[in-house]
Structure 1
């Protein structure tokens, strides 16, 4: 079997998969990197890539057995019945692997040799009988590799693992909404009547229904990044409040549902779509505008059509986060500081907890210290920190840092720097132009703040940069976990000053009414402060695509500790030379990475 490692995401040549129906890539036996590569290969060759199994008719995967193919389909809610296939000579075979010869539709006779000559992709006749049917195929990944290798479409026949026809699940109780969707899917699967003068089949009609006014309206001109198919979020400007923010809010809720159900592929797919929509400068008027964006497939277009028709701008799939009793509890647990989706599910399914009281009563001693703090100050830590309070926290930290290391500079990053009115936590980067001054600086700063009562709990204190002499993270330590590797302290913060005229007693200390806040104090050597500020200023998808772009286009590894060459033994790349201020150094890094400068307020990919 192939793991997709030999597939090039884009080599400037190769076949176009425009005429094939929607393709779903099965993640089974594929690493995330290989999955990325396969998906990018398809997208760069005009394939209709989908992340919704109910829309797909081609399932491309690194599997080899028919039983496994059927299992993969069933696990994704796709029920089928085996379909007999015909091969030359009138022989019928079942939907398993067929190593027979090409059919007449797959090639044409070469009169000089009598052999079959495969039709070129420009003839658009490859697998025509399948394209114009309503069948489903599970196809080995080797088919895509062969198409890329030959720079032409090749018949699927010898790569088909299973072929079937979609049937309704016997236990399904069709609702009105599902019946509508089923009819729409049937419309898509019917062959389109229109053909070109060369017999080329048009794309199937879209699931959403275009209105007359939609066809008459002139759409706004598409931005360059749309027409040029720019897929990296770090190369587009996404403002804090984009024109389609209400639709994005609904997609964010669906993404959260995917995260709570451990659907990592779905989370990444929705993140990609959300980032593209966030960068679109006009309010959508039609679903076709959504479909034109990189990373937005028919599923997202259908959701926008539902959003338009809902009246209140809601989506059924998004509402589940608030209405489904299981998801509601999982989300409640997920919002505890130090609890992720897997732990939330463990709380619910394995330990049978249903609220915070259950956690306190039955499992308090089993929690980590961070989780205990998260439960104890649950409501306070969920409150957003206003901008004025973030600025005050920064002033206090800067004052203490300057006391222990005169000349320290303090930079507020995170959501505050992107312009958010309220931040989930306060992220601060401290640096000093004298590199020796930042060595173990975090220890002295935290100690000073604790002494004065600003820090109530120090939950993590990392000295990873100081222990490697403040050098850029070595290439060999790239384990795929992209969490920051700089010196840092993750602390719980509370303003110690408050007015309370009531008398205190030795038995009862006055209670501080000020809310507890999460504060991250990050230390960066001046040599790479631009990388640190850049790495802590963008939204998650912006930062993800920044690393991907550096790897794909430059062959570099980027993180907040610096940039290294991947192909020359990990040599450090100095992109900040000549920058006098941290602002200049950040700009030099962005320009050196080839993404161009854009202010933090345009890195809001959500």
Structure 2
């Protein structure tokens, strides 16, 4: 008895055109089993962070997660994006829908973009697009229009509208959200010069306008490392033996970074206290910090600073910098959260919720009682000395930072 095969929808299209059955082999899809996708063999992880330990097997009470959870997959296994000509234009649609506060459409497009980026083949028919997850008839129509015409009429209509272009522009200013951008457009603003003349700008918006071009331009990994090293040197001059780790896209191994996030703690659980203001003051004294976007503030036991920095040299650009100081018992959860990616964080937090837990940048709690969206109890705090321990509690094999770049 022959095993059934799964073929691309183009096989059916070609058969209908020719009026006869074609061989299926050139159109067959090779699918991995779900177990192959997510049930990896535990292994020793080699990294250089302070949280690194040898992985131990998952606790017996938490079997390995099955199903296609993003947090259970390695981002290094992603396929090359063979549909970039499509996803580039759909991403511009997402930007526009976000600017116009049409969040549901933006989310729908984002889901479709993720599917298209991971699709192992170039889309060559409307039927093929329509059969993919998260892609309905209307989106399939738009995808096929891009394939055939090389452009999307709806996007061109958006781009030709002065108000939409202004919304997209204003939403790129640091400190400006969709509501503010919409108000400015309604009041007749169409350019950055129009906005700069306003008398109601916040200090953050003034800084965002002043460094607009610099903030939009990504920096090479080497520059992000230089910035992190300046912060580390200042931190250690204030309090020796601090652990200082750059997070975000840098820790995930990206070659280009949008900003720099630095996480600081101390193993004794006490010496990190009251040091953030001293570190920020030290960075101001050496001329490294040029603007404060948000003064150091408390978030429970954690501290956060948001500002703008610039390395020495006339050709250097102003860069966004966030510094987080956390107690040692919250370090692993904070490290995971500030490493990202945002998609990975959403996935692993949703998985925790499905398991009756809650995961934040502070802690992981089990036995959380909920009634719908309402949390009735905080649950029981679990020990999380390392990132590996968080994965183990959730029944996941450990993923290195580079494997979380979804």
Unaligned runs of 5+ in 2: 1-8, 17-21, 39-65, 370-375
Aligned CA distance change for structure 1 residues 394 and 340 (closer, same or farther; 3 Å): same
- The equivalent position to 1:274 in structure 2, one of 91, 113, 137, is 113
Q: How many residues align?
A: 354
Larger RCO (CA within 8 A; separation ≥ 6): 2
Unaligned runs of 5+ in 1: 1-205, 471-485, 499-511, 578-584
Partner of 2:330: 528
Cα-to-partner distance string for 1:93-116 (whole Å, 9 max, x where unaligned) = xxxxxxxxxxxxxxxxxxxxxxxx
Q: Secondary structure at the match of 2:339?
A: coil
Query: How many angstroms does 1:325 deviate by?
Result: 2.5
Partner of 2:398: 597
Partner of 1:447: 281
Could you tell me the TM-score, scaled by structure 2's length? 0.77
Query: 2-side partners of 1:368 and 1:241: how far apart?
Result: 43
Partner of 2:321: 519
- The equivalent position to 2:244 in structure 1, one of 410, 414, 418, is 410
Partner of 1:243: 81
Query: 2-side partners of 1:459 and 1:599: how far apart?
Result: 31
Kept after mapping to 2: 8 A contact 1:238/1:278: no
Q: Secondary structure at the match of 1:436?
A: coil
Query: 2-side partners of 1:412 and 1:571: how far apart?
Result: 31
Query: 2-side partners of 1:429 and 1:395: how far apart?
Result: 12
Partner of 1:335: 172
Higher Cα Rg: structure 1 or 2?
A: 1
Q: Secondary structure at the match of 1:252?
A: helix
Query: How many angstroms does 1:283 deviate by?
Result: 4.7
Q: Secondary structure at the match of 1:490?
A: strand
Kept after mapping to 2: 8 A contact 1:487/1:524: yes
Kept after mapping to 2: 8 A contact 1:542/1:604: yes
Kept after mapping to 2: 8 A contact 1:321/1:331: no
Partner of 1:491: 307
Q: Does 1:556 align with 2:357?
A: yes
Cα-to-partner distance string for 1:19-66 (whole Å, 9 max, x where unaligned) = xxxxxxxxxxxxxxxxxxxxxxxxxxxxxxxxxxxxxxxxxxxxxxxx
Cα-to-partner distance string for 1:286-327 (whole Å, 9 max, x where unaligned) = 5555555543434443333233223x4x43344455443222
Cα-to-partner distance string for 1:181-237 (whole Å, 9 max, x where unaligned) = xxxxxxxxxxxxxxxxxxxxxxxxx9x996307984424323445999946433333
Query: 2-side partners of 1:302 and 1:463: how far apart?
Result: 49
Query: How many angstroms does 1:537 deviate by?
Result: 2.1
Could you tell me the TM-score, scaled by structure 1's length? 0.53
Query: 2-side partners of 1:285 and 1:603: how far apart?
Result: 30
Q: Does 1:388 align with 2:241?
A: no
Query: How many angstroms does 1:354 deviate by?
Result: 1.0
